[in-house]
Amino acid sequence: MSIKPILRMGHPVLARIADPVQNPASPAIAALVEDMKDSLAAVGGTGLAAPQIGVPLRVVIFAVPPHRTTGAPDDEPQDLIELINPEIEPLGPEIALGWEGCLSIPGMRGEVPRPARIRYRGLRLDGTMVEREVGGFHARVVQHECDHLDGMLYPMRMTDMRSFGFTDELIAAGTAAPFPQPAKVS
């Protein structure tokens, strides 16, 4: 397929509510998912929403690499997966604060409060339904990507803008640690 540019904060497609996918099994949606995978692979990261490449449809892809899991029992690794027309339901009142970055806000990060555990559901390209209850990083990445489908970027969820800034400045100040990187294999 092809690598698409990632839209940055301020682009109108990122501010609108994405449209539901009418036919998840269509060749056009399969092609969109392939473009999203190629685009994500080209820039790195753990997830991408269709609006981030200029397509206002309710499609996200994400992965949970082993080095990003938190050790919570419901925060397991997940290979790259697509969700079409996803839905999220918070499970309980617990809120977790965690650092997030975004391909649409390059070079910056902030501490974002989110429900600690969620149930999510959505369709795969083959029409099968995925439904899972997750916590930790897994819950965070799903919520982050699905926010894009509702015109939300993570700074809109922040409650303390003092924890929002350029990644290198936050790390240099000791405010934030670098995001975990995959272990090097020699």
Interval 12-36 mean pLDDT: 97
Could you read off the pLDDT of 125-180 as tens digits, one per residue?
999 999 999 999 999 999 999 999 999 999 999 999 999 999 999 988 888 777 76
> 100 catalytic, yes or no?
no
Q: Which candidate in 82, 100, 111, 145 is catalytic?
A: 145
- Least confident range from 46-55, 62-71, 136-145: namely 62-71
Residue 57: DSSP 8-state: B
- Residue 177 to residue 71: CA distance in whole angstroms: 18
What is the structure's pLDDT at 1? 67
Interval 14-20 mean pLDDT: 98
- Residue 51 to residue 68: CA distance in whole angstroms: 24
Residue 8: DSSP 8-state: -
- Whether the model clears a pTM of 0.85, i.e. scores above it, the answer is yes
User: Which of 103, 99, 98, 100 minimizes the C-alpha distance to 9?
Assistant: 103
Half-sphere exposure of 27 toward its Cβ, with a 13 Å CA cutoff?
1
Q: Are residues 80 and 99 in contact, defined by beta-carbon separation less than 8 angstroms?
A: no
| Rg, C-alpha atoms of the chain | 16
Whose tokens are 């409060």? That residue is: 113
What is the structure's pLDDT at 184? 36
Interval 76-104 mean pLDDT: 97
What distances in angstroms separate CA 66 from CA 28, 71, 119, 181, one per listed residue?
31, 10, 20, 10
Mean of the per-residue pLDDT values for the chain? Answer: 93
